[in-house]
Amino acid sequence: MSMRSSLDSLLILERKYHNILAEVAKQQDLTIAEWQLLIKINNGLQTQEQLAHTTKLNISTLSRQLARLDAKKFITKMQTNGTRGRGYFTYSGTEKGEEAVQKMQSSLKTLEQKLFMRWSDEETTLLQVLLNRLVQSMKRFD
């Protein structure tokens, strides 16, 4: 039996993690993209311009995600007057939205604890160091 390459292992881990993350998000009636956007709104990014800049999403995709979050009552949308007399919207998280993010973070923390419960502190620290080095190495390809 041959050992798989490090990059192949990372790809397998990424797929498994994505599936788990999607399932955890689904339990809160969210998609992964909606969850990530909701975190940004809960952290104080309020305008579509701020969110577009941070997420690098095009406006139509962002608008659809914001509309879904609003329809599900995870955020509220308020019209505001702009500096040039033009109206625009600001977004803020609702109690339901903040609760969903907290539940997801709690579920992911539990997953992490289960995943590493048989690892020593040294092993988890070493893994973190190596993953950080890998991230830095990958940045060279940007």
Band of pLDDT at residue 52, cut at 50, 70 and 90: confident
Strands 87-93 and 75-81: antiparallel
Cα separations in angstroms, 69 against 34, 66, 75, 77, 97: 7, 5, 6, 10, 9
- pLDDT of 53-74, one tens digit each? 899 988 899 999 999 999 999 9
17 lies in some domain: yes
* Amino acid identity, position 101: V
* Amino acid identity, position 41: I
Domain count, the chain: 1
> CA-CA distance, 75 to 42, in Å (whole number)?
9
Residue span of the structural domain in which 10 resides: 6-139
- The enclosing domain of 60 has a CATH number of 1.10.10.10
- The pTM of the full predicted model, rounded to 2 decimals, is 0.82
- pLDDT of 66-118, one tens digit each? 999 999 999 999 887 766 555 578 899 999 999 999 999 999 999 999 999 99
1 lies in some domain: no
Pair of tokens at residue 97: 């939205």
* Amino acid identity, position 5: S
> Could you tell me which residue, 3 or 5, shows the higher pLDDT?
5
